Amino acid sequence: MTNRKSVWFEETGRKLDPGLVQQLWNNRKADPSETSTNEIPVILYLRRNCNADLKEDLSNTCNSEPHNKLETDLPIIHGMKGHLTPGMIKQIKDHDAVDRIFYDREATSFLDIARDQVGAAEVQKELGLTGKGVTIAVIDTGIHPHEDLTSPSNRIIAFHDFVSGKEDPYDDNGHGTHCAGDAAGNGHLSDGKYIGSAPEASVIGLKVLDENGSGRLSTIIEGLDWCINHKDEHQIRVVSLSLGALAFESFRDDPLSIAVQEAWQNGIVVCAAAGNSGPYPFTISTPAINPFIITVGSVNDQNTLERADDVIANYSSRGPSIDFFVKPDVYAPGTNIIAPLAPGSSLEKQLPEMIVDEDYIQLSGTSMATPISAGLVALMLEANPNLSPNDVKAILKATSEPTLDDTWGNIQGVAAVEMAKNYQEKTPLEAGQDG
What DSSP line would sit under 21-41, residue for residue?
Answer: HHHHHHHHHH--STT----EE
Burial 74-84 (b: 16+ CB within 10 A, else e): bebbbbbbbbb
Whole domain around residue 358: which residue ranges?
107-422
Determine which helix (DSSP H) or strand (DSSP E) holds 180, and give its type and residue range: helix 175-184
- One domain for residues 148 and 96: no
Selecting among 197, 298, 364, 367, the annotated active-site residue is 367
**Consecutive 10-residue runs of the chain (435 residues): their mean pLDDT?**
66 87 88 83 93 93 93 93 94 94 91 60 85 97 98 98 97 97 96 95 98 96 98 97 94 97 98 94 97 94 63 90 95 92 96 94 94 97 96 94 69 93 62 46
- What 3-state class would DSSP assign to 273? strand
Give a yes or no: residue 22 inside a domain.
Answer: yes
- Structural domains in the chain (count): 2
Residue of 140, 171, 182, 310 marked active site: 140
Question: Is 1 inside any structural domain?
Answer: no
Write down which residue in 104, 126, 160 finishes a domain: 104
CA 431 to chain centroid, in Å, comes to 35
Rounded Cα gap, residues 354 and 83, in angstroms: 39
Distance of CA 360 to the CA centre of its chain: 23
Say if 430 falls within a structural domain: no
DSSP for 181-239 reads HHHH-B-GGGTTSSB-S-TT-EEEEEE-S-TTSEEEHHHHHHHHHHHHHTHHHHTEEEE
In the annotation, is 140 catalytic? yes
- For residue 87, give the CATH number of its domain: 3.30.70.80
Query: pTM for the whole thing?
Result: 0.90
173 and 89 both lie in a single domain: no
Give catalytic status of residue 367 as yes or no.
yes
Is the domain of 145 the same as that of 95? no
Does one domain contain both 161 and 70? no
The answer to whether position 242 is within a domain reads yes
Q: Are residues 95 and 116 in the same domain?
A: no
Q: Give the 3-state DSSP-derived string for 252-263, with helices as H, strands as E and coil as C.
A: CCCHHHHHHHHH
230 & 331 share domain = yes
**Do the domain assignments include residue 179?**
yes
pLDDT the model gives residue 428: 46
Q: Which of 175, 218, 317, 400 is catalytic?
A: 175
Residue 301 known to be catalytic? no
